[in-house]
Amino acid sequence: MKVIIAEKPSVARDIAKVLDIKGSKKGYIEGRGCAVTWAFGHLVTLLEPGEYDPALKRWSLESLPFVPEEFKLKLISNRGVAEQFQVIKKLCQQADEIVCATDAGREGELIFRYILALCECEEKPIRRLWLNSLTPDAILTAFKDLKDGHDYDPLYAAARCRSESDWIVGLNSTRYYTVRHGRIGGGGDRVLWTIGRVQTPVLAMIVARDDTILQFRAQAFWELTARYREVLFKYKGKRFENPEKAQVLLERITDKPFEITSIVAKKKKEQAPQLFDLTTLQREINKLHGISAADTLIATQSLYEAKLVTYPRTDSRYLSEDMKERVPQILAQLKSRLPEQITAMDLTKLPFSKRIINDKKVTDHHAIIPTGMVPRRFGANEQLVYDAIVMQFIAAFYPPCLKNVTTVDGITETVRFQAKGTQVVDSGWTVLFVKKQKATDGQSLPAFAKGESGSHEPSLREGKTSPPKHFTENSLLGAMEAAGKFVEDDSLREALKERGIGTPATRAAIIETLLRRNYIRREKKQLRCTDMGRCLIALIKDPLLKSPEMTGEWEEKLKQIERNELDPDDFMAGIETYVRDMIRDSRSGQLDRSRWGKCPLCGEEVIKGNKAYGCSGWKEGCPYVLQPDCQGTMLTTKQVQILLQQQILPHPIRVDDELRMLILSTQGMPMTLRCPSADRQKKKTKADRD
């Protein structure tokens, strides 16, 4: 008997229907010598420390670091899991061959292999069903091309290393910082400081951005312009930091003739956008509609299971060579939905450039594209996501947008000015995105002639420098993809993708985890750190635990394991060494008793005054003041040094019970107040260390 294990019941039903297997049983479908059964996503997880040794149920510094000699597995405790697992186990033990039909990626492989291990069926022959979509044709084709399951051993090794490294880093660092810094009051309650191999560097990025904005001091500047023939010309030199110098030039050119000295026109070609991978899809949907990355993934997964789009958890923006024949068929099927857009295309001569077809850029899965099946109904988010995927797919085969970009130079009284204008010659793919076209069009220019001159209107505009923008999900996903080096340029981001934080499939979950733990909050489209998030990052002294680049290197090594280029044992040995060093170094951190600390606003040293502590840069305008009386509690010298040296507060203390409790709890100081979120945090489960 052949046993097929799918990741979800709905996928199992789709497979059974295509294979004409109709015998419905409790927990599986059988027929034609096959049994199709299913998991509910993850059924199996790693044991808890207390299940290795009962003494480890008690959290203590002395027991750290803890790394099992051999990781062991157990069923998760969700309803119905044990019953379904017994069905799977019985079928696997009777099977002559087991087919892995879980999601075709790292986590899908882990789900299957963990089930196989707990069933004690690892020695059974295994095959791999690798699906890019769930259409009947795709399922039939994939079954005709089943792979040897052991071809995917490196993928499983990477998945196992991801699981075990998250367990090691998360468990040890969470226990260490909770025991060391989490005491609340005399009753023994604690704040649970949850730390993760991936989530903590992401939190550190958000905290750093928010603190940069908070510490930003706007600088005034002045811009000199001249309006000639209704066109705005800008002064070619640097903008002025001194208004007197700008005023001198303004007076010099007032009532003087303006002459055109140069006209340079260049043709510019804007290529059609590339196809979506998951991260670029999430970013686009968040930018256009404010939908979260998690909700975009849910909607795309729903479209995938409805057979409307291909596999969503992909990091590729390309198609493979074997898709060339299928693409015109998909576009022809979509014609009934978008007749005007597709009629304009010649489906017999599609431009399959290297920006679209590139086998070297396709690893596990190709880009997200529609399958061509006609949808019947949508939820609100599904409609927006589907329309975006379809339009991006069509646009990829449209001609480029052609523009003339004209640069005009002018002069008056030896003061040089310049204006730029854009004229669209052929809209190309931009006709599909009217809003984008309007946003990128510059000012239109009349026909200028070299040497012409006339009167103009000079003016001086005062402005102020702007701080960086708070992260949105769009920009944070970009920063995670590039390991903190956020760039807008597609080609540069592609080059940096190997060093990203997390994977396309996990980045949305990381953001949601930080939100759930109250380390960050949403403010409209913005993501901002909370006081708890800032406090946690201040407590963590190990820079590597907060480093996006280091986490990006770990992710790159996991990909090397997938490609069979790195020994998994070497990776895990490095993780274990890192955790041991992290805990050792964290224990050795000491306060500097000879100083108060640095000003959180400007970085200058803090000094003690008669009634409060303030920034030594007060003469330069820094307003930072730390009052030692915090809502009736007088801070001690040690407490002030903890606040300032650990940089927990980037602003003066507010009358805020929860924040006050968190700050003073960092060294186990006795408190009588209760923290509203502490009781919520105490109830966190093992998921808090992932």
Instruction: State the Rg of the chain over Cα.
Output: 30
**Domain 2-145 belongs in CATH node 3.40.50.140:** yes
Q: What is the pLDDT of residue 649?
A: 53
Fold that domain 220-272+401-464 belongs to in CATH: Topoisomerase I; domain 3 (2.70.20)
Q: Structurally, what CATH architecture does the domain formed by 167-215+469-587 represent?
A: Orthogonal Bundle (1.10)
Write down the domain spans for the chain.
Answer: 2-145, 167-215+469-587, 220-272+401-464, 278-395, 606-689
**Given this model, what pLDDT does residue 600 score?**
78
Burial 479-495 (b: 16+ CB within 10 A, else e): bbbbbbbbeeeeeebee
> Which of 28, 228, 311, 386 is labelled catalytic?
311
Would you state the torsion angle of the CA atoms of residues 502, 503, 506, 510, taken in this order, to the nearest 10 degrees? 30
123-153 per-position pLDDT tens digit? 999 999 999 999 999 999 999 999 999 999 9
Higher pLDDT, 491 or 435: 435
Q: How far apart are CA 234 and CA 238, in angstroms?
A: 10
pLDDT of residue 627: 81
Predicted confidence at residue 673, as pLDDT, reads 26
**Whole-angstrom Cα distance, residue 416 to residue 233?**
9
* Average pLDDT, integer, range 400-417: 95
What pLDDT score was predicted for residue 612? 86
Q: Tell me the residue type at 266.
A: K
pLDDT for the residue numbered 679: 36
DSSP string, 384-422: HHHHHHHHHHHHTTSPPEEEEEEEEEEEETTEEEEEEEE
* Residue-by-residue DSSP string for 45-103: EEPPHHHH-GGGGS--GGG-S---SS--EEE---TTHHHHHHHHHHHHHH-SEEEEES-
pLDDT band, residue 592 (cuts 50/70/90)? low
HSE value, Cβ hemisphere, 13 Å, CA-based, for 319: 21
Say how far apart CA 394 and CA 369 lie, in whole Å: 10
Are domains 167-215+469-587 and 278-395 of this chain identical in fold?
A: no
Tens of pLDDT, residues 158-174: 999 999 999 999 999 99
pTM more than 0.85: no
Q: Which tokens is 15 given?
A: 């497979």
pLDDT exceeding 70 applies to what percent of the chain? 87
Residue 235 bears catalytic tag: no
Percent residues over pLDDT 90 in the chain: 67
Give the Cα separation of 189 and 199 in Å (integer).
24
pLDDT, mean of residues 37-52: 95
pLDDT band at 631 (very low <50, low <70, confident <90, very high): low
- Please list, in sequence order, all residues whose beta carbon lies within 8 angstroms of the beta carbon of residue 687, skipping any fewer than 6 positions away: none
Selected from 1.10.1740.10, 1.10.290.10, 4.10.640.10, 3.40.50.970, the CATH number assigned to the domain covering 278-395 reads: 1.10.290.10
pLDDT tens digits, one per residue of 281-309: 999 999 999 999 999 999 999 999 999 99
For position 688, what pLDDT does the model report? 39
DSSP 517: T
Residue 683: per-residue pLDDT: 40
The pLDDT tens digits of the residues spanning 637-665 come to 777 877 777 665 544 444 344 445 444 44
- Mutual angle of helices 380-395 and 293-305, in 10-degree steps: 80
Q: What is the mean pLDDT of residues 25-44?
A: 95
Average pLDDT, the chain: 87
Q: 489 pLDDT exceeds 80? A: no
What pLDDT digit, counting tens, does each position of 529-577 carry?
A: 998 898 898 888 888 888 887 888 888 899 999 999 999 999 999 999 9
